[in-house]
Amino acid sequence: MKAVGVIVEYNPFHNGHAFHVQAARETSNADIVIAVMSGNFLQRGEPALVSKWYRTKMALSGGVDLVFELPYQFATQNAEFFADGAISILDAVHCESFCFGSESGDISSFLKTIDFLEEHQEIFDENVRRHIKSGVSYPKALSLSFQDFTDTEGLLNLTKPNNILGFQYIKSIKKVNSKIKPLTIARKNANYHDEHFASETIASATSIRKALFSTDDRTFTIDQYVPEPTTELLKEYYNHYRGFHQWENYWSYLQFRLIQCTPEELRNIYEVEEGIENRLKAAALTAGSFQEFMEKIKTKRYTWTRLQRICVHILTNAVKEEMSKPEGANYLRLLGMTQKGKTYLNKVKSELKLPLVSKLSSYKQKEIMLDIKAAQIYSFGIPLDLRNEFIQQEYKQIPIIVK
């Protein structure tokens, strides 16, 4: 059986994702689709709208055959380390190919750009350092450094978010000398950060979440943009847990952490650098909401996304030592599968490159503790009477099987 991999967040799963899954299967001529999916906290430094278990159900209902969790250690990182973790998992489960959406839609432009920058690495790195010294953020410095080159015909536009991620995916494939074949498809209609609906059937996850939080009826405005199972699962989650997750749910806990911690303690948190802990503490004393807090601490040097990731790490007390950057994941946390996915897994189980974790209580290695802690903190976004049930699911839930 041939497997194609996808790297996803599904926050939530929508029609664009369904198109991607089908296109990945057809473009690669694969028998099954394997998704590496972020857990309860995401790459942009946000809590997921609904839990990873519900997003797994959405994925399996939408055409994915196997879902593995991307560990917190990678899921809440910048594009480079996010890619390293996800690609290491796809490589470990023997995906023959990997398909990602991009603004480019042309894999040759990615490969040409990788070769071009390898050839001009010293000049590129020097340009990056120069732009960072000017006070811009690291992602902006990367983009500006690439634009400094004049002979870029046929190369990738590295100002676009999905092109940047795809570029890092292919770099990660080369880094681990994987045999995975990279494939890309053009994103349809909606851009990654679009906050408004751009077509009749395709919308960004950002615009869908905005619609969900801006109306009392939590689903009717998005029905045309998501598959029916997504609608039903969102309704079920909202009715059971009495709400969805967003940063404002966690603001009081973050505020307490910031005020209670000493500057020295905050400096030990991953990504807290250059004295920003003092700015964070000062803003926490006067901000009345997470949105207001973010507006107070935003600077030219720090992107909104990076600041949110710092806030996630403070919330979960993820210290620099435990967030050290290994080359790849250390385990395969299986969240769900179809019958076809189960058949594939049985065929390759003896050849997996990493230990398979199908039930948390059976895996005792310390590297999974970050995921456990993240799930516990995530549960603070739901009512108190439901938290114990939520946490117990983290330990007892066996992989979801969709027939």
Give SS3 for 319: strand
Judged by average pLDDT, the poorest of 97-111, 139-153, 241-255 is 139-153
**Does 265 appear as a known binding residue?**
no
Give SS3 for 38: strand
Which of the pair, 329 or 365, is modelled with greater confidence? 329
Residue range 75-81: mean pLDDT, rounded:
93
**Does 20 appear as a known binding residue?**
yes
**Does 101 appear as a known binding residue?**
yes
- The Cα diameter of the chain in Å comes to 61
**Does 163 appear as a known binding residue?**
no
**Does 157 appear as a known binding residue?**
no
**Does 17 appear as a known binding residue?**
yes
**Does 211 appear as a known binding residue?**
no
Half-sphere exposure at residue 258, Cβ-oriented, CA atoms within 13 angstroms: 26
Residue range 340-369: mean pLDDT, rounded:
91
Q: Is the model's pLDDT at 159 over the cut of 90?
A: no
**Does 317 appear as a known binding residue?**
no
Residue 41 DSSP one-character state: B
Residue 169, φ and ψ in degrees, nearest 5: -60, -45
| CA dihedral for 127, 128, 129, 131, sign (positive or negative) | positive
**Does 9 appear as a known binding residue?**
yes
Q: Are 74 and 81 in contact (CB under 8 A)?
A: yes
Judged by average pLDDT, the poorest of 53-62, 155-164, 270-279 is 155-164
Quickly count: other Cβ atoms within 10 Å of residue 154's Cβ. 11
pLDDT of residue 191: 53
Looking only at the bridges linking them, the beta strands covering 332-338 and 181-186 are unpaired
User: What does pTM read for this prediction?
Assistant: 0.93
Q: Is the model's pLDDT at 227 over the cut of 90?
A: yes
Strand partners, 224: none
Burial of 350 (C-beta count, 10 Å sphere; 0-12/13-18/19+):
exposed
Q: Provide the token pair at 223.
A: 């029905």
pLDDT band at 39 (very low <50, low <70, confident <90, very high): very high
Sequence spans of domains, the chain: 3-103+185-241+327-402, 247-316
Looking up tokens 């199908």, which residue turns up?
358
First to last CA, the chain: 18
Q: What mean pLDDT, rounded, does the chain reach?
A: 91
pLDDT band at 292 (very low <50, low <70, confident <90, very high): very high
Q: Which of 376, 377, 369 is nearest to 256 (CA)?
A: 377
**Quick check: bond before 12 cis, omega within 30?**
yes
138-154 pLDDT, tens digit each: 778 877 888 888 677 77
Residues 6+ apart with CB under 8 A from 250: 47, 290, 315, 377, 380, 381
Give SS3 for 21: helix
pLDDT of residue 125: 86
**Does 7 appear as a known binding residue?**
yes
Distance of CA 392 to the CA centre of its chain: 24
Strand partners, 270: none
pLDDT of residue 219: 53
Residue range 171-195: mean pLDDT, rounded:
81
pLDDT of residue 263: 96
Q: Helix 290-297 crosses helix 251-260 at what angle (to 10 degrees)?
A: 50
In whole angstroms, how far apart are CA 136 and each of 70, 142, 222, 339?
A: 29, 10, 37, 49
Q: Report the top-level CATH class of 3-103+185-241+327-402.
A: alpha beta
304-354 pLDDT, tens digit each: 999 999 999 999 999 999 897 777 999 999 999 999 999 999 999 999 999
**Does 390 appear as a known binding residue?**
no
pLDDT of residue 366: 80
Q: Is the model's pLDDT at 93 over the cut of 70?
A: yes
Q: How far is 398 from 135, CA to CA, in rounded Å?
A: 48
pLDDT band at 188 (very low <50, low <70, confident <90, very high): low
